[in-house]
Chains A and B, each alone.
Chain A
Amino acid sequence: MDLFSAQSVSKQYASHKALDQVTIHVPENHIFGLLGPNGAGKTTLIRIINQIIAPDQGELIFMGRKLQPNDISMIGYLPEERGLYKKMTVGEQAMYLAQLKGLSHHEAQKRLKYWFEKFEIKGWWNKKVEELSKGMQQKIQFLVTIIHEPKLLIFDEPFSGFDPINANMMKEEILALKDKGATIIFSTHNMSSVEELCDDIALINRSKVILDGAVRNIKKTFKTNTFEISYTSWDGVLQSILPADFQILTESQDVDYRHAHIKLPAGITPNELIKTMLPFVTIYSINEQIPSMNDIFIQAVTQQTPQHVTQD
């Protein structure tokens, strides 16, 4: 079931269309990656979900009904442009933001105490924000985003500004939140974190969704039946033994082995390849070339052909 979905959402700014008939489905308890180049419309969509701005057209469905103003207490949002009041103390600020999310004074205090202990930052409570490093501030921001235990979490570029250790800690926290039942929308340019975290994605380019679906399925559709094979033999063997429709994409040699990328025609299995090669060469390894999200991203954006991946 979808926890959240946007149906044909459009938003027009004076001269340019920020979103054009955008439809996304965010399944419950999934991590959903919202991808796209700069200026594609991701932030506009996120702001619409947070009801910071209103769409010109389209519907937003949250938990099976129309999104309502009160639902912001069930959404946690960590914007890309984020900060804190510099002159306020960490504790006061966290209390303020937690109460703005609808927690009572008592409840806010209790939960903050728990998280401050967990993150081992209890000593910061009375410090002014300006005394903290950027990474420390990011931790506070992350903490106040999740303090009200929202059903839907939206992270816009959550790892920017974190060192690898803290970034890893955040990743683990995000996965832990998923385990506890939260649904997460997460916007980023960092494709490796998409591979690690996301179950589903939507790729937005020039205001339109050009690719969406489950990561696993998308990868499947972007596979080209290409294999990397490592072997030993004499020079030029492949050209002489392989049928013409087996495309040799690359060939190289290092100290020990020869390597080649071979694209097979549709319907031909790697077994055929091995069978053909076996009498002439010694095979040490064969791997299917699965496209990375990075490749898919670049390919989809440069081709600009909308694809909605549904098959399983």
Chain B
Amino acid sequence: MNKIFLIIRREYLTRVRKRSFIVMTILGPLLMAATIVIPIYLATRTNEKKTVSVLDESGIFYDKFKDSEELKFHYIVSDLATAKANFSKSNDHALLFIPKPDVSLPTNAILYSEKSVNINVTSYIRNVMSRQIEELKLQARLSELQTDKKEPVAVDDLLRSIKTSVDINTMKIGEDGQESKSYTELNMILGMFAGILIYFFIFMFGAQVMRGVIEEKTSRIVEVIISSVKPFQLMMGKIVGVGLVGLTQFLLWVVLTFLIVTIVTSTISPGDSKKSVTEQMMMQKQGMNPAVSEAVSSQKDSGEGMNAVMEAINSVDFPLMIGTFIFFFIVGYLLYAALFAAIGGAVDSEADTQQFMFPITIPLILSIVMAQYIIRDPDGPVAFWFSIFPLTSPVIMMIRIPFGVPYFQVVLSMVLLLLGFLGTTWLAAKIYRTGILMYGKKISYKELWKWIRYK
């Protein structure tokens, strides 16, 4: 145990002290911060207001959308076809269509636009709508309670019963007036972001494990070391050490990006998180405890720029998201890193890795390719199977999680991934053990199969 710790320490320290690690650690957050900050900065700089036409068939949202620094709303009355035709001719940013609900209150809306719509706009609209709907529901419930004189209802239950989520579909209208669905929903962004992050992490650090093994082989130190430790210890030490390097880099990125973004945004757009005070007062008047109203208002809080994003983020089941992310991030890495280590052990130089890399990269690349499809149908059978198969589940499950996945599927996927990890590690250890002592031999799949069967 002590020896594996020594190996992990060496793998970690030699990498962390490399110049490339330090450069990457500094450059990464700068790039990430730039991608976050620059659009916000540009958005705040544009004096031009974006106009959104509102075609509200339900009639309950009239005048509810307030103009802001960024947005201007104007309300139209016509049928959808004419509205769309007019919209195409106009310079308006988007057309919000709230269809007449069948029975009760509306819960969805369609946002038409020529260009893709900023997430701030969508989330602002969603918030206004859900706030309005919830308010109507609340009034209805309260009057119902007063007239019925029923026994008092718990605040929590009350809140839960009125909680409404609004779906906003964004559709692009092309030059030719054709519609196509576009996806800017936060769930998708979060899911894709998490999935792609795992994909990159596995590729970057998996390849580092492989290169490390090849380095040990070509520098001929491997036999010196395995006369002191078991090949398995050396392999696992390397995988864990490199993984920790990855985690360190990742954490530094998150922290530094966060710092840079907070500093920069606070200087370019001084805090404008106006809470809707009236609403809070109203809630309190109706006898809600402050903590609850705080929770409610935090969901209803309106804001712009970062605030809108932060608030939208609040709507996601974050503990689940973070928990599963960490799990799939780490176990997914371990599973693939073992395979990468096996490849490194089997070949003599990086040039020979191609034929073995192929079957490993296929499921990873397939996950990213399938992501487009899965995001459109996150609960379909394809999504299900890809999200439980261990080689694709780390990426695909993360894409599905923000849309809500039944717990048993998450657990099943985790268990299978763990089993997959044990399986690949067992397999990799066998290939690695034989491969690291083979020099100057071109290895075929047949040869690998023989190694696996050695005692």
Q: Do A and B originate from a single complex?
A: yes
Residue among B14, B228, B455 making CB contact with A88, cutoff 8 Å: B14
A52 near B: Cβ within 8 Å?
yes
Residue among B10, B219, B223, B439 making CB contact with A86, cutoff 8 Å: B219
Report yes or no: B455 in contact with A56, Cβ–Cβ below 8 A: yes
Residue among B7, B221, B227 making CB contact with A77, cutoff 8 Å: B227
Report yes or no: A52 in contact with B227, Cβ–Cβ below 8 A: yes
- Tell me the dominant secondary structure on chain A's binding face: loop
Report yes or no: A14 in contact with B450, Cβ–Cβ below 8 A: yes
B6 near A: Cβ within 8 Å?
yes
B225 near A: Cβ within 8 Å?
yes
Known: A14-B450, A81-B220, A86-B219. Contact between A52 and B226, CB under 8 A? Answer: yes
B362 near A: Cβ within 8 Å?
no
Instruction: Look across to chain B and name the residue whose beta carbon is closest to the beta carbon of A15.
Output: B450
Number of interface residues of A (CB under 8 A): 29
Task: Report the minimum CB–CB distance from B102 to chain A (whole Å).
Answer: 69
Residue among B14, B220, B226 making CB contact with A83, cutoff 8 Å: B220
B224 near A: Cβ within 8 Å?
yes
A121 near B: Cβ within 8 Å?
no
Using a CB-CB cutoff of 8 Å, which residues 1-16 of chain B contact chain A? 3, 6-7, 10, 14
The contact string, 1 if C-beta is below 8 Å from chain B, for chain A 31-55, is: 0000000000000000100101110
A100 near B: Cβ within 8 Å?
yes
Q: Which residues of A contact B225 (CB under 8 A)?
A: 97, 100
A78 to B225, CA, bound (A): 10
Residue among A14, A86, A87, A97 making CB contact with B224, cutoff 8 Å: A97
Residue among B223, B228, B454 making CB contact with A97, cutoff 8 Å: B228
A72 to B229, CA, bound (A): 9
A224 near B: Cβ within 8 Å?
no
Residue among B215, B227, B229 making CB contact with A75, cutoff 8 Å: B227
A85 near B: Cβ within 8 Å?
yes
Using a CB-CB cutoff of 8 Å, which residues 85-113 of chain A contact chain B? 85-88, 96-97, 99-102
A88 to B18, CA, bound (A): 11
A99 to B226, CA, bound (A): 13
Instruction: Look across to chain B and name the residue whose beta carbon is closest to the beta carbon of A100.
Output: B228
Report yes or no: B219 in contact with A85, Cβ–Cβ below 8 A: yes
Report yes or no: A100 in contact with B229, Cβ–Cβ below 8 A: yes
Report yes or no: A72 in contact with B219, Cβ–Cβ below 8 A: no
A101 to B226, CA, bound (A): 10
Task: Report the minimum CB–CB distance from A173 to chain B (whole Å).
Answer: 18
B382 near A: Cβ within 8 Å?
no
Q: Which residues of A contact B142 (CB under 8 A)?
A: none
Known: A47-B437, A54-B455. Contact between A96 and B223, CB under 8 A? Answer: no
A31 to B14, CA, bound (A): 38
Report yes or no: B227 in contact with A82, Cβ–Cβ below 8 A: no
A79 to B228, CA, bound (A): 12
A29 near B: Cβ within 8 Å?
no
Residue among A14, A82, A99 making CB contact with B223, cutoff 8 Å: A82
The contact string, 1 if C-beta is below 8 Å from chain A, for chain B 221-258, is: 10111111101000000000000000000000000000
Task: Report the minimum CB–CB distance from B18 to chain A (whole Å).
Answer: 8
Residue among B7, B223, B228 making CB contact with A81, cutoff 8 Å: B223
The contact string, 1 if C-beta is below 8 Å from chain A, for chain B 200-227, is: 0000000000000001100111011111
A207 near B: Cβ within 8 Å?
no
A191 to B365, CA, bound (A): 57
Report yes or no: A81 in contact with B455, Cβ–Cβ below 8 A: no
Using a CB-CB cutoff of 8 Å, which residues 147-176 of chain A contact chain B? none
Q: Which residues of B contact A54 (CB under 8 A)?
A: 455
A25 to B358, CA, bound (A): 49
Report yes or no: B450 in contact with A50, Cβ–Cβ below 8 A: no
Using a CB-CB cutoff of 8 Å, which residues 123-165 of chain A contact chain B? 141, 144
A100 to B208, CA, bound (A): 23
A84 near B: Cβ within 8 Å?
yes
The contact string, 1 if C-beta is below 8 Å from chain B, for chain A 64-79, is: 0000000010010111
Report yes or no: A83 in contact with B221, Cβ–Cβ below 8 A: yes
Report yes or no: A82 in contact with B437, Cβ–Cβ below 8 A: no
A79 to B10, CA, bound (A): 22
Task: Report the minimum CB–CB distance from A78 to chain B (whole Å).
Answer: 8
Report yes or no: B228 in contact with A83, Cβ–Cβ below 8 A: no
Task: Report the minimum CB–CB distance from A109 to chain B (whole Å).
Answer: 14
Q: Which residues of B contact A50 (CB under 8 A)?
A: 227
Known: A14-B450, A96-B10. Contact between A79 and B227, CB under 8 A? Answer: yes
Task: Report the minimum CB–CB distance from A36 to chain B (whole Å).
Answer: 18
Report yes or no: B221 in contact with A72, Cβ–Cβ below 8 A: no
Q: Which residues of B contact A78 (CB under 8 A)?
A: 224
Instruction: Look across to chain A and name the residue whose beta carbon is closest to the beta carbon of B3.
Output: A100
Residue among B216, B224, B450 making CB contact with A82, cutoff 8 Å: B224
A40 to B219, CA, bound (A): 25
Using a CB-CB cutoff of 8 Å, which residues 113-148 of chain B contact chain A? none
Task: Report the minimum CB–CB distance from A86 to chain B (whole Å).
Answer: 6
Instruction: Look across to chain A and name the residue whose beta carbon is closest to the beta carbon of B218.
Output: A83
Q: List 9 A-B contacts (CB under 8 A).
A: A50-B227, A52-B223, A52-B227, A52-B231, A52-B437, A72-B228, A85-B219, A85-B221, A87-B14
Since A52-B226, A85-B219, A96-B10 are in contact, a sample of 8 more A-B pairs with Cβ atoms closer than 8 Å, ordered by chain A residue number, is A13-B454, A72-B228, A81-B439, A82-B221, A86-B219, A97-B225, A100-B228, A141-B224
Per CB-CB distance, the 5 closest pairs between chain A and chain B, nearest first, are: A83-B220, A77-B227, A79-B223, A100-B228, A83-B219
Seen from chain B, the residues whose Cβ lies within 8 Å of a Cβ on chain A are 3, 6-7, 10, 14, 215-216, 219-221, 223-229, 231, 437, 439, 450, 454-455
